[in-house]
Every structure is written in C-alpha cells, then in structure tokens.
Structure 1
Amino acid sequence: MVDLRIIVSQDDFDLGVEAERLETGPDTGAVVTFTGRVRDVAGGLRHMEIEHYPGMTERALTDIAQDAADRWSLSAVTVIHRHGRLIPGARIMMVGTAARHRDAAFESASFLMDYLKSRAPFWKKEVREDGAEWVASKDSDEAALDRWV
C-alpha cells in the first residue's frame, strides 16, 4: 500500500524532514523531491496570495497523488502546498515521490508538477507595488500536462 501524504497549510515545512520520510520504505531505491518558491520575476513583488477551497483541494490532490502512485507503482507520495500570504523566496510547495527505480520517481514527480501548475484548485494573486493581478495558467503549462494523457 502506498503512503500518501497530502498537506495544504499556511505553515512552512522542513524539506529535509519530508525527504527523509520518503526514504523509509523497505523497497525504496529512489526518492525525487521538487520544491517551488515564490519568485519575483518582474520586480516589485510584495507578496503572493494563494487561495483554495478546503476539502475540495485536498480531495483533488489526493486523487492525483493516487493516480501517480498507481501509474508508477510508487511506495510513497508527498504533496505539500501552502496557501495564504507568501513573500518572495518563501516555499510554496513540495512534491516528493519514492519508487523502486529512479525513472518512476522522476516521471511521477514531473507528472505531479505538471498537474499542480495547470489543474490544482489554487488561485494565485501577485500583489505588487503598483497593484495586484491574478496569475493565469500558461499555455506552456497546459502543453506539459498534455504529454501525460
């Protein structure tokens, strides 16, 4: 049985603790983690506001994590996504996968990231010195998700 860990929280997380947790399976030969951070690409970003619907968000993340676990025979999946007000440089999210072999760990982590970038039920608003704007999904994010269909 796969160990699914889904956390949606305002709180920061410890990447080392989360990665170590993924390494505990007796048949785990590979662990892949990815951490996303708030970046100030255009300059002037004060903070990012991330909103979600509790319950719906966790269910959607659990479903996609289970899908990844089934497709790649994973022993563990961790998806952590923060919400609320996050300043530049803050961690937004983490995806971690554990598998017998590295190909499955890498591919499943990429699959989860592509889903999170384009389909996960989060709404992000960038608050800048000159105003605020909701962040839209990019065509490149949608195209990346298409490769998994």
Structure 2
Amino acid sequence: MLMAGCAHFAGRHPLLGYTEKDHPQADTALVVCAEQEQYICGITGVNQVATWEKFNGGKTPWVRVLPGKQVIKLTLSNSHQLNRQQVTIDDVQAGHVYRIDVGFNATLLTASYTDLGKMDAYTIHMPRFPLSPKAITASF
C-alpha cells in the first residue's frame, strides 16, 4: 500500500536536471518521454545531475533542463529488452518541449528526440494502475 501511494505521487512535477533550485522556470525547457504503449522510457540523468526517482522505479517521465547543450541519460525497455542510452541535445531553447521517442532497430532499443517547439505548458498522462491515467500539466 505504501509503495502504491508513493508511485501515485511520483512524477507529478518535472524533476530538475540542474542544481540551481531557484532558476526561473521561464528560462527552462522540458524533456519528456513519449507516451508509447510498447516501450518504457525513464530519464535517469541530465549531464551529471541524477534524476532517478526511487518512488517510480527510475521511470522519471519528464525533467526541466537549462538552455544550451544537454546530455540526457535514459533507461529504455520493452517486454524483452532493457538498455541504457543517452541523447545529446546541442541547443536547448527556453520554453521548448523536447520529446524522447523510443524505437527498435532489430537488435536494440534506440532513442531520438523531437523539438515540439515553444509552448506555454505541456501535459503528460501518468499511469495509475488499476486506475485510469491522470493528466498532469507543467507550465513555463
């Protein structure tokens, strides 16, 4: 019951992929894992900052990052494989949302990103088994 309660609260807000806790949100971007049924994506770090969240088994679905070059460390899995990858975004722009997409190239899981552009807010749907997913929004 305790773990189910913790999982319910994990991921409600994007974790910070930087150490400056007072940095203005308007000067950040979001990196989010795409909502794909056959793949699981977890953001485990940004540069040297860990974003592993123990309450959801390391499946951190979104993080805030600073503008500039960012190295996003990931854990990817499906029903047959688990592997670690990283994606480098060379020119992160404030207010943009970067979606991480997971694919399979016949031998291993792969990750790529898409710049969804500048947005005022972004919504993800957090799974809450056996309940229906909950929509959670982050703003800039």
TM-score (norm 1): 0.32
